[in-house]
Every structure is written in C-alpha cells, then in structure tokens.
C-alpha cells in the first residue's frame, strides 16, 4: 500500500469528533433553560474515577491533532488544557478541526512507512505509520471520544427535536434533514 488514506484520516477524525463531541452550544442552552450553572455539566463525569467532560474533550482533541501531526511529520500544535466553559470547549474543538483541515492530503499520503516514536511509560515505542494509525491512534481516539458524548447524554440535555440525542448540526451533517427543515435524527 503506497498511500496511507485509510479511509481518509482527516475525515474520520473530523466526523467522529463532530458526532461524539457534538456542539456544546446545545448543552449550554439546556443548562440555561434548566437554570443550572454550566460548570455543573462541564465538570460532570460518568463515574467518580473518570475525567469530567472538559478533560474528555481535551483528550479527544489531543488524540486527533497528535495523530494527524505525527502522520504528516509536522509539529503537534500546543493547546493549553484550561477550557472550562462550553464556549471554550467549542473553541478547542474548532481549533483541532481547523488544524486537521490545514493539512494537505499529500502530507499524510505515503506515511504508512514513516517512523512514529512515542515515549510511553519512559520507553520509546516505535511504529510505522500504518501500525500507529490503526493500532494506536484510532483506538485511543475512539476510546477517549465517546465519554464526552455520554456525559452530555447522562446529564440529559435535549436536542432541538426534544430527544436526548446528537445535536441538530450533527444530524444535518450525517443524516440529512426532512423537507420541512426538521432534523431526521433521534
């Protein structure tokens, strides 16, 4: 395999980030409607030993931008982990997606043989690009992204259709809308 385009790293990270992280504005509106301090949501967690929503979003974003940067052979953008509000989390997601879009396919294509070295528990672990993407980057991203969405679901925020489901923007992007403009999701 000469081109690492399995099935499009940028679109895969982008689509899953949009689906699992959604649009924090919906949760912000829910908090305001219920007269609950938004920080209650951003600091919510599914279990006491799990990270809160804010940290889950940070980790998912770091996983995506780190994977893409390593495969493209560019420096990983540094984002401070200070986000606490829905607006800040939305900005973090946007910065990550902007970085993904800034990469040209040619920067990633052919990186299946590029050496990727990670320091894990004090040891250098070496991968080729394909091993890294399929055996480390994707699994870590897919492990860290769902908790953010699940925390939002757990806190019972409602979508525009009145159901506890993905945001209308995600439904539009992934499932389309009915003729009357209403979401066809959930």
Looking at residues 13-25, what average pLDDT do you find? 63
Crossing angle of helices 86-102 and 24-33, in 10° steps, is 170
Structure tokens at 100: 């993904």
Is 9-155 a domain of CATH 3.40.50.920? no
* pLDDT greater than 70 at residue 166: no
Domain boundaries, the chain: 9-155, 158-186
Read off the pLDDT band of 174 (50, 70, 90). very low
Structure tokens at 7: 């099935």
Lowest mean pLDDT among 34-38, 73-77, 119-123: 34-38
What pTM does this model have?
0.75
* pLDDT greater than 70 at residue 39: yes
In 3-state terms, what secondary structure has residue 109? Answer: coil
> Which residues have a Cβ under 8 Å from the Cβ of 104 and sit 6 or more positions away?
none
Lowest mean pLDDT among 9-18, 52-61, 88-97, 146-155: 9-18
Residue 170: per-residue pLDDT: 36
Q: What would the pLDDT profile of 111-158 be if each residue is shown by its tens digit?
A: 999 999 999 999 999 999 999 999 999 898 888 878 877 887 777 655
Residue 156: per-residue pLDDT: 62
């Amino acid at each position: 395999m000469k081109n690492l385009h399995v099935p499009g790293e940028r679109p895969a990270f982008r689509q899953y980030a949009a689906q699992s992280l959604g649009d924090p504005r919906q949760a912000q509106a829910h908090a305001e409607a219920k007269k609950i301090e938004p920080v209650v949501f951003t600091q919510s967690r599914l279990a006491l030993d799990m990270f809160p929503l804010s940290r889950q979003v940070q980790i998912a974003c770091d996983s995506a931008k780190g994977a893409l940067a390593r495969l493209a052979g560019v420096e990983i953008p540094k984002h401070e982990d200070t986000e606490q509000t829905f607006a800040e989390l939305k900005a973090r997601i946007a910065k990550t997606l902007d970085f993904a879009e800034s990469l040209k396919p040619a920067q990633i294509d052919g990186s299946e043989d590029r050496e990727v070295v990670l320091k894990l528990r004090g040891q250098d672990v070496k991968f080729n690009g394909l091993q890294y993407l399929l055996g480390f980057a994707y699994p870590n991203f897919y492990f860290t992204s769902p908790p953010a969405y699940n925390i939002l679901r757990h806190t019972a925020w409602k979508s525009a259709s009145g159901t506890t489901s993905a945001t209308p923007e995600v439904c539009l992007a992934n499932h389309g809308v009915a003729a009357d403009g209403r979401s066809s999701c959930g």
